[in-house]
Amino acid sequence: MAGLYFYEEIASDWWRSELSKVYVWYASYGSNMWKARLNCYIAGGQVEGMQKNCLGSMDRTLPKEILWKTFPCPIFFGRDSSHSWGLGGVAFLNPEKNFQHKTYMCLYKISLEQFNDILFQENCLSLNASSPLFDITTMNAISNKEFNSLEVFKGAWYGNVVHLGKEQGIPVITMTCSLPDIELFKSGKLPLRAPNKAYANTLMKGLVEGEQLSEVEAMAYIDGATKSLGLG
């Protein structure tokens, strides 16, 4: 058994070493727009309103750079409750280009290793993985076109990685639910729910501290995403 643990550690070290040298822009459209919330996934901990502590990433280096962009695709809020926030919906991205929608996203320049650790934590997986969910080969496979997506972990809430384009020559990627789940939300087989106050406030803090919107504008933006659902 000790030999097995040793093998897993070596395998993990191998992919982590490789992906730590590759940078991506992780584009957040939900609670991770607030830098303090994103830092929970990097350094560990939790912010006000969260119901569980984050372990943090293996590499706790903070993002090299942060910038904001808008993208022509809608967000919506779904699911009845979540482990991190309790009752209420959480944000998902509908990765279909639609110029009638404008979604604010905070882009964090992090390593591909750190992106995988966020992906693990978003989907309640162990960090002690012998392989990444999203590697360089996979990234190259979807990076030739905007809004390409690939489900890297089937059945997960945030197992679908979406390529949104490039910034400074570096891929911009995010995570959302699978395309089949999008259809289930549209049909009503998966529940659409407004976010609770704590979760909505976290999005608002991200938008305000990022100097994108005022508090009033941010809450109107969140309310608009709740009402339109972005699935029409």
| 135 — pLDDT class (breaks 50, 70, 90) | very high
Q: Is 12 exposed, middle or buried (0-12, 13-18, 19+ CB in 10 A)?
A: middle
57 bridge partner residues: none
Inside any domain, residue 170: yes
Helices (H), 20-111: 35-43
The 10s digit of each residue's pLDDT in 85-125 is: 999 999 999 999 989 999 999 999 999 999 999 999 999 99
Range of the domain at 118: 2-77+90-175+201-228
Count of domains forming the chain: 1
Q: Is residue 219 part of a domain?
A: yes
170-176 and 23-28 beta bridge pairing: parallel
DSSP string, 137-177: HHHHHHTTSTTEEEESSTT-TT-EEEEEEEETTEEEEEEE-
Phi-psi region of 148 (alpha: psi -120 to 50; beta: other; left: phi over 0): beta
Does the pLDDT at position 216 exceed 60?
Answer: yes
184 inside domain: no
The confidence band for 5, taking pLDDT boundaries of 50, 70 and 90, is very low
Report the SS3 class of residue 61: coil
pLDDT of amino acid 7:
39
Domain assignment present for residue 124? The answer is: yes
Residue at 44 is within a domain? yes
Burial of 110 (0-12, 13-18, 19+ CB in 10 A): buried
Q: Is the pLDDT of residue 167 over 90?
A: yes
Asked if residue 182 has pLDDT above 70, the reply is yes
CATH number at 51 reads: 3.10.490
196 lies in a domain?
no
Work out whether strand 160-167 and strand 23-28 pair parallel, antiparallel, or are unpaired.
unpaired
Average per-residue pLDDT for the chain: 92
**pTM (2 decimals)?**
0.92
Q: Give tens-digit pLDDT for 171-181.
A: 999 999 999 99
Tell whether 189 is covered by a domain.
no
Which pLDDT value is given to residue 13?
83
For residues 175 and 204, what is the distance between their CA atoms, to the nearest angstrom? Answer: 20
pLDDT for residue 150 is more than 50? yes
**Residue length, the chain?**
232
Distance CA 77, CA 22 (A): 31
Residue 37 inside a domain? The answer is: yes
Average pLDDT of 209-231? 89
